[in-house]
Structures are given as C-alpha cells and as structure tokens.
Amino acid sequence: MPIKRLELVIWRRRSRWLDSGVKAQKSSSRQRISIVMDAGQTGFRVGAAKYARFGLALNSEKSRLVVTAVNTLAGNLMSFWQTSLRQSRILKAFEKHFNHSRGNQAMSLAHEVKKKAKEVGFAVVGISNLGLLRDLPYGNIRYIGELPTPEVELPTVKSVIVMGLYAWDVAFNIVANSWRLHNDETRRQKVPLESYQLYYQVVKSKAWEVAHYLHRKGFDSVTSVSIPLKTAAVKCGLGCQGKNTLLVTPTHGPRVRLVAVLTEAELDADEPYKEDLCKDCERCVRACPAKAIEPYKVKVNRCMVYASENPDSKDVPVETRSLEQRLTQRPTPNSFFDCSACLEACPIGKSIG
C-alpha cells in the first residue's frame, strides 16, 4: 500500500517557532509541531540543517518524538534529514517498513485464525482472497440453487476462510425433513415445511466461534454455507475436487463437511491446491448405485442425495426414485441418511479411522 501522506508530530515543553512550512499550535505549556509531507513534493520547506539543530535541542530537553506509523525508525530520522536528502527517499524507507509490518501482522492473524479453527474442532482450514475466487461458479446453478459471491453476504469482505469438519460417522449425514408431515391433510396442526441436516448445524455452530473471534479483533465477519464451498476450498489449498466432484483432502479424503467465514480482515492467502489426488482411481464412479457419476461430473437429478432431499421433484428419473425409496436408510418416517456410497468408496484418508 503506497504511502501518500506522512505527518511528523513533535511535542515540546516550551514554545518555539520554525520556518514556513511548519504549523505550530500551543496547548497549555506544550507545543504541537506538525510537518506534513505529501507525495509529489521534491523536498521540505524547512531548512534541513536548522531543523537538525532543533532536533538535537529536543533530544537534550528529553522532549517526546512521535513519528506516525514507524516508531522503530525514530532513532534513524536525523541521518535521513540532511540538506541534499529528497522526500522520496524518506517515503520509500517508511513504506518499506510499513508494508513489512503490515505483512507480518496479516501473517500473524492468519496463523491465529487457523489455530482457533483447529481448537474449535475443524480438521482442515485454508484462506483465500477475492482475487483468487473470481472464477468460481456463482449464480443460479441448475438443481443446486443460487450460489452468491462473498460480497453479497458481506460487502466489506477481504478474505475467505474455508474450514472442514471431519465427518467420522455416517450419522453426520442424517437429515430431518418435514415434507411428509407438511403435506398430510389429516393433521390438525399444520407442520411448517423445513429441513435440517446435522452436519450443517454442527459446522455453522463451530464456524460462528471463529467469526466471533475475528469480531473481537475488530473485523466484521459472517459464516456462510451458500458460496461455492468445494471450489473455494480448492483455492484455499485444502484439496482437489475428486471424480465424484466432492472435495478430496490428502488427510481425510472426501470425509469433510465444509463451511466458510467471510471477514473484512486482510489475511495472507494460501496457495491453491494443484495435485489431482484421484489419479487413475474410479472407485467412486463404480460405487454410485444410480450411476449418476462420470469422472469429475455428476448428473445431479440422478443422484440419490438430490432425490432424497427433493421428494416431490419431477426432475428425478423413475429408476432413481425407485432406488432412493428402496436403498435410503430411514431411522424415522421423517428422517433419512444421505447416500454416501461414493464418499465411502474413496480410499484416501480411510487409514485415519
């Protein structure tokens, strides 16, 4: 971030005036002297030699010297201000120090955020920025719905944190759906049409803790399960999109459930994931009972998950609907387990279980 304006502020116990170009204001027994340097000027109006003498006097009087944004350079200022010194050299020195400090701060906060995410229970976490996420599949996606950009959910967003929870049991895939009760005309009390997925409730609850952590740091942050999470996770360096189109991580395979935190904090981005972990393996393709998977592509309306979650959809082929009704596990009449055949077939990450 280039520095366009720099202000030197000096507090002195006794009043003293310098040449033109210096603004002085008295405040009780102390004097505030402010020198403003704008990018584009070729030098200072105040005489360098005279100012140097004044600076030495300040040191002898033990006055307070405050330099905006770069306190660590205060001891070197006198060597900068020589008669032939140009303002551009000073600004470059300040800019270098400022950017270095800013970069360290961003790196440090990113490390803290990842540590917090691991503390609340996420197995994997990565960070990206808006520039890297421009080419994701936003908009209305057939059979999926509307996938908004991060700016829609948080206009001031600068960084996107994607986190993955290790789904260590099929119970994470349970869904409670009121569709049957909602359409039951014999019931006295009407039941609202709603659906709850266990893993969504878990990941959103944990993600809120990370967002709250950033709030306490002074950065507006929100949780999201609406942006394109799988492709965003690849940009965050968490893994690749496998042949079943799920995110496949090196450590846990596809057995992670994703959520994002959008924040106005400017964090260091991770490198996007480049490797194809699937290689020649096609176990997930062969495992799909509805034959909905082609390598790196899913026919969504043929997927049993889509069929289970959309019991009244006319887009589901008859043979897929028949399979869904026969194979889907239903603990209660109004709940079911999402099909995870392609997920369980993946050999990557199985050893950790």
The per-residue pLDDT for 99 is 54
| pLDDT class of 193 with cuts at 50, 70, 90 | confident
A 10 A CB-CB count for 184 gives: 11
Q: Is residue 106 in a domain?
A: no
104 lies in a domain?
Answer: no
Q: Give a yes or no: residue 166 inside a domain.
A: yes
Mean pLDDT for the chain overall: 79
Q: Are 22 and 163 members of one domain?
A: no
Strand stretches in the chain, DSSP E: 5-12, 23-27, 30-38, 64-67, 124-129, 139-141, 145-147, 159-166, 174-177, 195-197, 221-224, 240-241, 247-248, 256-263, 293-294, 297-298, 335-337
pLDDT of residue 25: 43
Confidence of residue 15 (pLDDT cuts 50, 70, 90): very low
112 lies in some domain: no
Claim to verify: residue 273 and residue 234 sit in the same structural domain: yes
- Per-residue model confidence (pLDDT) at position 54: 38
Q: Mark whether 43 and 167 lie in a shared domain.
A: no
Instruction: Quickly count: other Cβ atoms within 10 Å of residue 309's Cβ.
Output: 17
Count CB neighbours of 100 within 10 A.
Answer: 10
CA distance 195 to 309: 9
Q: What does the pLDDT read at residue 97?
A: 53
Name the residue range of residue 188's domain. 120-352
Percent of the chain with pLDDT over 90: 58
Choosing from 65, 98, 131, the residue where a domain stops is 98
Q: What is the C-alpha to C-alpha distance for residues 129 and 194, in angstroms, rounded to an integer?
A: 34
Question: Which residues face 182 on adjacent strands?
Answer: none
Domain count of the fold of the chain: 2
Are 49 and 175 within one domain?
A: no
Is a pLDDT exceeding 70 seen at residue 78?
A: no
Statement to judge: residues 185 and 303 lie in one domain: yes
Domain boundary among 67, 98, 129: 98
Of the candidates 252, 260, 148, the residue with the CA atom closest to the CA atom of residue 200: 260
In this structure, is the dihedral angle defined by the CA atoms of residues 132, 135, 138 and 144, taken in order, positive or negative? Answer: negative
Does 228 lie in the same domain as 176? yes
Residues 153 and 232 in one domain: yes
Alpha carbon separation from 2 to 97, 100, 131 (Å, rounded): 11, 12, 19
Q: Of 85-89, 109-113, 122-126, 322-326, where does mean pLDDT reach its minimum?
A: 85-89
Question: Within a domain: residue 145?
Answer: yes
154 and 190 Cβ atoms separated by less than 8 Å? no
Same domain as 184, residue 82 = no
Residue with the bigger pLDDT between 94 and 111: it is 111
Same domain flag for 260 and 303 = yes
Same-domain check for residues 77 and 140: no
Residue 23 falls within a domain, yes or no?
A: yes
> Are residues 124 and 244 located together in one domain of the fold?
yes
Please give the residue that has the higher pLDDT: either 112 or 182: 112
Residue 322 lies in a domain: yes
For residue 312, tell me if it sits in a domain.
Answer: yes
For 246-275, what is the mean pLDDT? 96
- Looking at the structure, tell me whether residues 44 and 135 fall in a common domain: no
pLDDT for 74 beyond 60? no
CB 97 within 8 A of CB 73: yes
pLDDT of residue 88: 53
